[in-house]
Amino acid sequence: MSYAGVVRFLRGKSNPADGATGHDHAVEVSAADTSQRAAGKGRPTPSRREAEGRKRGPVPPPPRTQREALKRMRSSKQQRREASATRRQRMLAGDEKYLLPRDRGPDKAYVRDLVDSRRNVMGLFMPLALFILVTILVPSPVLQQFASILTTAMLLTMVAEGIVLGRQVNRRVREHFPDTRSSRFGLGIYAFTRATQVRRLRVPKPRYTPSSPVRKPARS
């Protein structure tokens, strides 16, 4: 079958020269746009490696001898130890910047003060666990029966004391920090966990001794 004329199925550009001109024009516009952006910033965008290098400073030259390499390694280890010791001291002192997220906030500091200013039966939790371990290893039915009764009584006492302590802590915290975001259950568990720890191992260190009055915190 023949057609009378030429059938054009796709619309194309009638003049190839026009297409080339349009392509060149697009390239010129893109180059002009890129040059304008570069001129607007004043400098090309630095790569990530260049930015990190500027933050860290100049890279030291590689060690020339094995002795120098060992010296640098010992120096870096000493610096890391000193930094770790500094963070540890800051954490024990109660510096907010170095505390764990669970210990941050004036309400948590007040809870720690309330727990540290009183004597708790829950403080015997770790010695009680050690005593249970010893009685399990000793093959004595009489001792094991006595340990079982004592452990049950101590655990019940600790649970009751933890409930009372949680209520007291929540009441005092809500009184001085009405806008606190900590939940009642969370504050109670935090106080219970703090009370079950041995005083010498508590982090941060206690600021109050047992039976000492706790200073009222400043309202934020």
pLDDT reported for residue 71: 73
| Beta carbons of 183 and 92 less than 8 angstroms apart | no
Write down the mean pLDDT value for the chain. 78
pLDDT, tens digit, for every residue of 113-167?
999 999 889 989 888 888 888 888 888 888 888 888 999 999 999 999 999 999 9
pLDDT band at 27 (very low <50, low <70, confident <90, very high): very low
DSSP secondary structure letter of residue 102? G
User: Residue 58 has what pLDDT?
Assistant: 65
Among the listed residues 109, 114, 91, the one whose alpha carbon sits nearest the alpha carbon of residue 180: 109
Structural domain boundaries of the chain? 64-93, 102-201
Burial category of 98 from C-beta neighbours within 10 Å (exposed 0-12, middle 13-18, buried 19 and up)? middle
Sequence-distant (6+) residues with CB within 8 A of 143 are: 135
Distance between terminal CA atoms of the chain?
Answer: 93
Summarised one tens digit per residue, pLDDT across range 72-123 is: 677 777 778 888 888 888 888 888 888 989 999 999 999 999 999 998 899 8
Alpha carbons 39 and 36: distance in angstroms, whole number: 5
